[in-house]
């Protein structure tokens, strides 16, 4: 019994810092991530849907790729030959705000907050 109790105390001592650490990580993630529900509205209002499929996984208006499960998209080439290995938030921020050879920039019509929300929404597709 005694041994068990001590084990419990040791366990608690080990897990408390881990727990606090994960809370802190969650808080950081929340600050960066934005709100996917608002992001969906941004997606609709800024008419991303006109070129990008989000349901079938097949492009509805080539060369605009489908954005369904886009964070797991296998390596592929953009129109200018640039290779995407693995999609990241940073990469998408740049594409959306600055555009690419084949997609016009949207930076001028989006606030930082809307961009965060949009990125959070893209994670849910």
Measured CA to CA, the distance from residue 71 to residue 124 in angstroms comes to 9
| Shortest distance, position 26 Cβ to ligand HEC, whole Å | 25
> Would you tell me the crossing angle of helices 112-122 and 89-98 to the nearest 10 degrees?
130
| Shortest distance, position 90 Cβ to ligand HEC, whole Å | 12
Toward ligand HEC, which CB reaches closer, 34 or 65?
65
Toward ligand HEC, which CB reaches closer, 2 or 82?
82
| Shortest distance, position 96 Cβ to ligand HEC, whole Å | 5
Sequence-distant (6+) residues with CB within 8 A of 91 are 84
Can you give the binding site for ligand HEC, defined by CB under 6 A? Answer: 46-48, 50-52, 63-65, 67, 70, 73, 78-80, 84, 92, 95-96, 100-103, 106, 118
Sequence-distant (6+) residues with CB within 8 A of 60 are 51, 52, 53, 66
């Amino acid at each position: 019994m005694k041994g068990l109790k001590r084990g419990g105390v040791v366990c608690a001592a080990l897990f408390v810092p881990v727990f606090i650490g994960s809370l802190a990580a969650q808080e950081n993630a929340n600050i960066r991530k934005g709100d996917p529900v608002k992001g969906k509205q941004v997606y609709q209002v800024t008419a991303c849907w006109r070129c990008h499929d989000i349901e079938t996984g097949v492009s509805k208006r080539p060369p605009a790729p489908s954005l369904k499960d886009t964070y797991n998209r296998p390596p592929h080439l953009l129109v200018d030959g640039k290779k995407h290995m693995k999609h990241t938030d940073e990469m998408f921020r740049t594409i959306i705000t600055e555009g690419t050879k084949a997609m016009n920039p949207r930076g001028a019509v989006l606030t930082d907050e809307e961009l965060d929300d949009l990125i959070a929404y893209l994670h849910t597709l």
